[in-house]
Structure 1
Amino acid sequence: MKKKALIIAGRLIQDHEYIYPYYRLQEEGYDLDVAVRGKETVLGSIGVKVVPTKDIPELRVEDYEVLVIPGGAKAMEYMRQDRDILKFIADFHAAGKVIGSICHGSQLLISAKLVRGRRISGYYSIQDDIENAGGTYVNEPSVTDDRIVTTAHYKDLGPWMKAIFAETERNRKESARPAKALSGA
């Protein structure tokens, strides 16, 4: 079975946070889709062109095993108002899949109601937002909690990507294990 990954993006996404996972996922053998509302080509905050392969309404949770949410303060202000994006993120987690979030991308985790009771990283300016949503803010290069892998800054994308791949492999092995039979009385 071919590995499939998805990056959800929007206009003014943080360019480094889009480019690095875009290429690393492909280097690791993933088929990659990029989703943008309206399937519109958009520019990152410093001008990188983001060419989508999917529109948000076309997305199906079962098509992917990992979801990446790049940051970008302005992009998140728009994207976190999109109920379809938030529902997809919540459904993706509920399906037991791995989500990776970078920097301000954790704002989408907050708006998708996935932060409460979890250790979450994100840009230092959203620490209060994470804590007010019931999460514990952790400023480490990579934080993994319940299949959600977060990082505070693009300078830590190397360790964060390694954690994404490790968590995805762990999740894949866990999913492949046969369920224990219920014992009858």
Structure 2
Amino acid sequence: MAAKDSIFGIQAPKFVDDESNEVLLNYFVVLKDEKDFGTIEHQSIINRHREWVDKGDHWIFEGLIHLFKYDDPEAKYLELQNYYKQNVRLYKRRDGSFYLNNNLDPVYFRLDKLEPIVLTSKNAPDGLLISFVSIEPVNTLIRSKKSLIYSNVEVKNAYSMLENCSFNQNVETEIP
């Protein structure tokens, strides 16, 4: 049975560096995919009045890579190690789009954590915990340009349906 298509994509994640080199994250299991809220709360010590300042929400994307499933796990680990603490464009789904900010520009993520862990073997790490943290706030309403295009198409379709409808206000109905 074929997987249902999604505007956000259905395939495994990937990231792209500044030179357009793609790194595919096959055998990836998402552990955390959530906002890091950027709201700062100020509370008066005199009357306990509260005010909030919204500075935008960052995004955290963490997962587990099953290195033992690769033909050459060491090569994959070394490939990822080259990007450790580097800024990359993250694609949550490789057939989807990257994250955007409020200006609809790409948001870069820092490859913040690479931690080898033991999954199946008893003495050697064969898994990898990996974490990406956004450098600037992410627009969570418009996740991608692809979703923006889809929403514009839906709006245009709705308008064209309304234009094709004719409302005749002089209709007389007979009540039996």
Same fold (TM over 0.5): no
More helix by share: 1
Q: Could you say which TM-score interval applies, normalised by the shorter chain? A: under 0.3
- TM-score, length of structure 2 as denominator length: 0.22
Choose between structure 1 and 2: higher strand proportion. 2
Higher relative contact order, chain-length normalized (CA < 8 Å, sep 6+):
2
